[in-house]
Amino acid sequence: MAQSKLRVVHYLNQFFGQIGGEEKANVPPEAREGVVGPGMGLKTALGAEAEIVGTVICGDSYFGENMAEATGKVLELIKGFEPDVVVAGPAFNAGRYGTACGAVCQAVVRELGIPAVTAMFPENPGVDMYKKDVYILPTADSAAGMRKALPKLAAFALRLGRGDSIGAPEEEGYIPRGVRRNLLAEKAGAARAVEMLVAKLRGEPFATELPMPRFDRVAPCPPVPDMAKATIALVTSGGIVPKGNPDHIESSSASKFGKYSLAGLDDFTAEAHQTAHGGYEPTYANADADRVLPLDVMRDLEREGRIGKLYDYWYSTVGNGTSVANAARYGAAIAQELKADGVTAVILTST
């Protein structure tokens, strides 16, 4: 018995959807029957097994400025085509487009329960935002990579549409999502570790089972020349905030940092201060936040002239599951403010 073709819906922005360039970036979502633009190439790559039944197009700015509403509308239009699988992009290094592709795929999977895949340049911000939830295939940074990207997208979409189980990212070619899956290995962990070590010692290739995130390095700044004239700022990832946590800094995966006045304050107290951190036992910090951020001692040292001045504000966020990218962003923003205010050096405490 002949099987019916898989139904594919394709999501595009206004540019690839052939509505127009930046001047048309505000067009709201619309649906077309069949293929549009790069959908032609996708159709060819999909072959006889699948059919692009419809294309949904939305302007990048419209999407970016009305994400919740746009996602909802796009979802309705996609749903109307009753797809088996949804393909978005490729978005290459277009940030708003990549974000839209990620958001659309995430919503399709979560709310419609339909598999979805997109493709974009690995540094597209849409990757960091959605790679945990969405299959994203890496592409070149410009549409020059279209011819290479479409066959990969098509092959992946066919597998999703068929309901194939998707393997590890290095086998399947998508950007790692950080998902760990239990599997039964032939050899015990100790044996595998020793094999890796032996291979490493022999200079042979080996693959770690737990890649560590990569970190870059910054050269140390020169020391503070005259501490008695220096303004020192207190910063913490330990979540010390005024009682009640007025900025609602999250107890994990903090989405922000807070800046709070130290004017007239000599000591943190249980009545007025607390920690917002959800990753350590808060009893001791809530009883006396100086145990995390040493305000009392800094005031003593200021009075004694050991330091010139304690900066008038403290900065705080919660370093608990907070992404490296976010933490870096907070650090850079805090540093700019401190420099603008003439701060000499920083004491940063972490729990």
Partner 1 sequence: MVKEIERAGLPVVHICTVVPISLTVGANRIVPAIAIPYPLGNPELPREEEKALRRRLVEKALRALETPVDGQHVFED
Residues that bind partner 1 (CB under 8 A): 212, 215-224, 227, 230, 232, 235, 237-238, 280-285, 287-288, 290-294, 296-298, 300-301, 306-307, 317, 319, 324, 327-332, 334-336, 338-339, 343-351
Closest separation in Å from C-beta 127 to partner 1: 21
Shorter beta-carbon distance to partner 1: residue 133 or 296: 296
Closest separation in Å from C-beta 285 to partner 1: 6
Distance CA 153, CA 164 (A): 15
Shorter beta-carbon distance to partner 1: residue 201 or 332: 332
Shorter beta-carbon distance to partner 1: residue 112 or 227: 227
Which residue is associated with the tokens 């009392």? Answer: 296
Distances (CA, A) of 2 to 45, 71, 77, 154, 348: 21, 35, 28, 21, 67
Closest separation in Å from C-beta 248 to partner 1: 19
Shorter beta-carbon distance to partner 1: residue 133 or 260: 260
Closest separation in Å from C-beta 310 to partner 1: 11
Closest separation in Å from C-beta 131 to partner 1: 21
**Cβ–Cβ < 8 Å for 74, 56:** yes
Query: What three-state secondary structure class fits 235?
Result: strand
Shorter beta-carbon distance to partner 1: residue 136 or 234: 234
Label residues 224-248 b or e (16+ Cβ within 10 Å = b): eeeeeebbbbbbbbbbbbbeebebe
Closest separation in Å from C-beta 250 to partner 1: 16
Distance CA 43, CA 5 (A): 12
Using the 8-state DSSP alphabet, how is residue 318 labeled?
B
Shorter beta-carbon distance to partner 1: residue 21 or 223: 223
Distances (CA, A) of 45 to 72, 140, 190: 29, 18, 44
Distance CA 87, CA 101 (A): 9
Shorter beta-carbon distance to partner 1: residue 215 or 264: 215
Closest separation in Å from C-beta 274 to partner 1: 13
Burial of 47 (0-12, 13-18, 19+ CB in 10 A): exposed
